[in-house]
Amino acid sequence: MNTKSPECWSADPRARGLRVQLSPSQSFVLPFEHFIYSEFSTGEETETLKIVFATHEVVLRGKLLRRLEQAMQRTELAFVTAIPERYHALVGETQPLIREVAVITPRSEEREQPRGEEE
């Protein structure tokens, strides 16, 4: 019987980018050179960590995500993925848990149109 808790993130001081796994068949690697900023917020039941790169935004929802923010600040956050709900109970109360991962790619027409101007 495997007693190891499922891992939804990893840190590596030698990482050169963040690998975001959306599913077993789809992932992104975003280079740290394109990292712009991150934003952490906490709500009543969940925390949100938004990591913004030049070309994509990665939005993580879960608990104890502050540790991931700190790893990103040191450019050591190497991997993130969501854990299926059936495994949430296996993650301890002291470990980060990623419930949801979203990658947002800005549409090209949004980048071309200046903000604040009306058509």
pLDDT the model gives residue 4: 56
18 with 34: CB under 8 angstroms?
no
Instruction: Fill in the amino acid letter for 119.
Output: E
pLDDT tens-digit map of 23-79 = 999 999 999 999 999 999 999 889 999 999 999 999 999 999 999 999 999 999 999
Compute CA distances 102 → 23, 99, 119, whole Å: 11, 10, 30
Report the SS3 class of residue 50.
Answer: strand
Integer Cα distance of 114 and 58 in angstroms? 23
Report the predicted TM-score, pTM, of the whole model to 2 decimal places: 0.82
Q: Is the pLDDT of residue 14 over 80?
A: yes
Gyration radius from the chain CA atoms? 16
Integer Cα distance of 36 and 43 in angstroms? 24
